[in-house]
């Protein structure tokens, strides 16, 4: 197998490689398989997370297009918007962030960071997240009419260029596994816009890695995720000149997304506390807490053998913890 290289323009934003760590105290608490964390919460730039990897490629594309402002959309606690605004600032660009709903009463977590970054923030006034795509397009059109050069980044940075970052990340993981003599049996990741999982899927096939890939959705129904991973994966492979993906799609599960996207679930709160108290690692209430709650449920159902190696790809998100103190401490003594 030739080494996998991703030959696209790329900026250096993230601290790479991120650590690959075993989490034995967490395993002891849960029983079951050996557990490993890929620490993309530690990509470093602007408080890190998976979006920093994507932005190394997406912002290179924006610069090549001659942009002077980037436009994207999500909610006030979006890690994607925080990282996008920070990357724009580092490159001397402006950022317009479109958010669903109304301005939150408390300026906390990622929203606070967006404000510190001096991003232009607009609220749609509607809680319907599907309206955001049209709002991005309208904003970009208004900017063009005003003589600006906007670059549109779709929600979550979910483009083939963004997913290419996770194809490259698979190569990074492979090198670490080889160096540590580790053979992974399962890889589990939180799924939102599906760009990360699509990249992992394409990368896995490019290096013929044998593990089973699991995507635990925190917002979309599993069937919708499957469609998005398939189409985004195919487009990513085309962009990189790789063969069209043929392997079965990742196992997608939406059973752990809780009451709604962005609303903490009690299972996620349990997962966040457990991982913090056994390993000193902070999950987040929107993505990784729910995905890890899903992994805990799979372990408790006996899906994995005790001699298997299961990797949880920690995609970051800790700033959103600060927006949910009451839910995170519910039921605790003073």
3 state SS of 159: coil
Location of structure tokens 């190569």: 171
- Of 239, 185, 243, 194, nearest in space to 220 by CA: 194
Q: Which two tokens stand for residue 218?
A: 């925190």
Backbone angles phi, psi at 259, to 5 degrees: -60, -35
Residue 18: DSSP 8-state: P
Contact with ligand PLP (CB under 6 A): which of 84, 193, 265, 309? 193
Binding of residue 262 to ligand PLP (CB under 6 A): no
Set 78, 163, 193, 217: catalytic member: 78
From 136-144, 145-153, 195-203, 260-268, span contacting ligand PLP (CB under 6 A): 195-203
195: contact with ligand PLP by CB under 6 A: yes
How far is 4 from 7, CA to CA, in rounded Å?
Answer: 10
Which H or E run includes 251? strand 251-253
Site string for ligand PLP, 202-241 (x = CB under 6 A): ----------------------------------------
CA atoms 103, 109, 114, 116: torsion sign? positive
In angstroms, what is the minimal distance from the CB of 283 to ligand PLP? 9
Q: Give, as one character, the DSSP assignment of residue 20.
A: E
Residue closest to ligand PLP, measured at CB: 317
Size of the site for ligand PLP (CB under 6 A): 21
One of 315, 319, 324, 328 touching ligand PLP (CB under 6 A): 315
CB count in 10 Å sphere of residue 246 = 7
The CA-based dihedral angle spanning residues 96, 135, 158, 245, taken in that order and rounded to the nearest 10 degrees: -160
The continuous run of DSSP H or E covering 95 comes out as strand 94-99
Of the residues 136, 288, 296, 304, which one makes contact with ligand PLP according to CB under 6 A: 288
The least CB distance from residue 200 to ligand PLP, in Å, is: 9
Q: Is 310 in the site for ligand PLP (CB under 6 A)?
A: no
Write down the least CB distance from residue 302 to ligand PLP, Å: 26
The interface mask with ligand PLP, positions 56-95, x = CB under 6 A, is -----------------------xx---------------
Of 50, 77, 204, 236, the one binding ligand PLP by CB under 6 A: 50
Alpha carbon dihedral 205, 173, 254, 35, in 10-degree steps, equals 130
Stretch that binds ligand PLP, among 28-36, 189-197, 265-273, 304-312 (CB under 6 A): 189-197
The only residue of 258, 284, 294, 319 in contact with ligand PLP, by rule CB under 6 A:
284
Q: Identify which of residues 34 and 80 has a Cβ nearer to ligand PLP in the complex.
A: 80
Q: Which of 330, 327, 317, 334 is nearest to 110 (CA)?
A: 317
Residue 130 known to be catalytic? no
Which residue stretch of 43-51, 65-73, 133-141, 168-176 sits at the interface with ligand PLP (rule: CB under 6 A)? 43-51
Give the integer Cα–Cα distance in Å for 175 and 185: 16
Return d(Cα 226, Cα 140) in angstroms, integer: 29
Q: Please classify residue 326 by burial: count the beta carbons closer than 10 Å to its beta carbon, then call 0-12 exposed, 13-18 middle and 19+ buried.
A: exposed
The candidate with the shortest Cα–Cα distance to 294, out of 327, 332, 259, 255, is 255
Between 131 and 160, how does the x/- string for binding to ligand PLP read (CB under 6 A)? -------------------------x-x--
CB 68 to ligand PLP: min, Å: 25
Min dist CB 124 to ligand PLP, Å, is 19
Which residues are annotated as catalytic? 78
- Please report, as ranges, the residues that interact with ligand PLP according to CB under 6 A: 49-51, 79-80, 156, 158, 190-197, 284, 287-288, 315-317
């Amino acid at each position: 197998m030739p080494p996998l290289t991703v030959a696209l323009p790329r900026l250096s934003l993230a601290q790479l490689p991120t650590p690959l760590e075993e989490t034995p105290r967490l395993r002891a608490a849960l029983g079951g398989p050996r557990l490993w964390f890929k620490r993309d919460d530690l990509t470093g730039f602007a408080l890190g997370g998976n979006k920093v990897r994507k932005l190394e490629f997406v912002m290179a594309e924006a610069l090549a297009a001659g942009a002077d402002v980037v436009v994207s959309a999500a909610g006030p606690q979006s890690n994607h918007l925080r990282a996008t605004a920070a990357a724009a600032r580092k490159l001397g660009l402006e950022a317009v962030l479109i958010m669903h709903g109304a301005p939150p009463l408390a300026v906390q977590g990622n929203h606070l960071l967006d404000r510190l970054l001096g991003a232009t923030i607009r609220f749609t006034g509607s809680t319907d997240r599907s309206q955001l795509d049209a709002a991005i397009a309208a904003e970009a059109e208004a900017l063009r009419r005003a003589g600006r050069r906007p670059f549109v980044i779709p929600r979550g940075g979910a483009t083939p260029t963004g997913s290419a970052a996770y194809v490259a990340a698979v190569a990074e993981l492979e090198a670490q596994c080889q160096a540590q003599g580790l053979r992974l049996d399962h890889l589990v990741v939180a799924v939102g816009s599906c760009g990360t999982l699509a990249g992992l899927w394409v990368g896995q096939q490019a290096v013929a890695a044998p593990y089973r890939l699991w995507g635990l959705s925190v917002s979309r129904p599993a069937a919708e995720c499957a469609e998005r991973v398939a189409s985004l994966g195919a487009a990513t492979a085309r962009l990189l000149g790789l063969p069209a993906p043929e392997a079965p799609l990742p196992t997608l599960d939406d059973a752990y997304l809780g009451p709604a996207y962005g609303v903490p679930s009690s299972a996620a709160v349990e997962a966040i506390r457990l991982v913090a108290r056994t390993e000193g690692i902070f999950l987040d209430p929107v993505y990784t807490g729910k995905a890890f709650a899903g992994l805990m449920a799979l372990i408790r159902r006996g899906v994995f053998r005790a001699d298997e190696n299961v990797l949880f790809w920690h995609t970051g998100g800790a700033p959103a913890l600060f927006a949910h103190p009451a839910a995170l401490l519910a039921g605790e003594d003073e």
